[in-house]
Amino acid sequence: MKRIFRVTIERCIACGKCELACAFAHGSEGKPSKTRINIFRRGPELGTPVVCFQCDDAACAAICPTQALVRNEATGAIEMIRERCIGCRLCVAACPFGNMLWDEAYHCVQKCDLCGGDPKCVPFCPTHALEYVPADEAALKPEPLVWEETARTGR
C-alpha cells in the first residue's frame, strides 16, 4: 500500500526536529535552514510543516527539460536524479507549493524523496503532527493522543 504524509497542524509545536532530521539525513550542509521539510512558524510553538506532496500530475516533472524528476513506483515519491540535473532551476519556479529547493552549495535542486520509503523526519516528531500512513487512511482524522484527550476533558 502506498503511504503518504499526514500532517496534523494542530499538533505541531514548531520544535524543528523534523527539519533537523532532514538536514542530517540529506547532508544539505546539515543546516536546518536548508531542508526539504520546512516549518512555517505562525507564532511561538505554533507551526505548519510544509513538505512535498509528490503530486500525481507534478509540475516539476512536467517542466524538467531532462527528465531528471522521475517517480519511484515503489515509494510513490518523485525523485531527483542528480546525474541528469542540469541546474536550470525551472522546477523551483514551477512548483506551485514551493517545495523544490535550490541548493547553492551543491548546485542542484533538493526535493523530498520520502527517504526511499522511510521518512527520517517522522520518528523525530514528538507530537505526531507528522505521520506516514497508508494513502487511504490519510484523509481520516487521526485518533486523539492522550494529552489531547486530557486537554479536551480536563481529566
Partner 1 sequence: MITLTINGKTVRAREGSPLLEAIRAAGVEIPTLCHHEALEPWGGCRLCLVDVTRPEWKGWAKMVVSCMYPAEEGLIVQTHTERVVETRKVVLDLLLARCPETPLIQKLAREHGIEKSSYPPNPEPTDCILCGLCTRVCDHIGVFAISSVNRGAGREIAPPFHEAPPDCIGCLACAEVCPTSCIPYETSDAKRTIWNKTFEMVRCPTCGKAHITTAQAGFYAGRNGVPRSYFETCDACKRREMAHTFSKLSAGAGGVR
Binding pattern for the stretch 66-95 against partner 1, x by CB under 8 A and - elsewhere: xxx------------x-xxxxxxxx-xxxx
Least Cβ distance, residue 83 to partner 1 (angstroms): 4
Residue with cell 502506498: 2
| Residue 47 or 119 having the CB closest to partner 1 | 47
Q: Which of residues 93-132 bind partner 1 (CB under 8 A)?
A: 93-102, 107
Burial class (CB in 10 A: 0-12, 13-18, 19+), 138: middle
Q: Judged by CB under 8 A, which stretch of 19-27, 34-42, 126-134, 142-150 contacts partner 1? A: 34-42
**Residue whose C-alpha cell reads 506532496 in the numeric block:** 53
Residue 31 in contact with partner 1, rule: CB under 8 A: no
d(Cα 82, Cα 78) in Å, to the nearest integer? 13
60-to-53, 95, 97, 117 alpha-carbon distances in Å: 12, 6, 10, 20
Residues that bind partner 1 (CB under 8 A): 7, 9-10, 38, 40, 42, 46, 48, 50, 62-63, 65-68, 81, 83-90, 92-102, 107
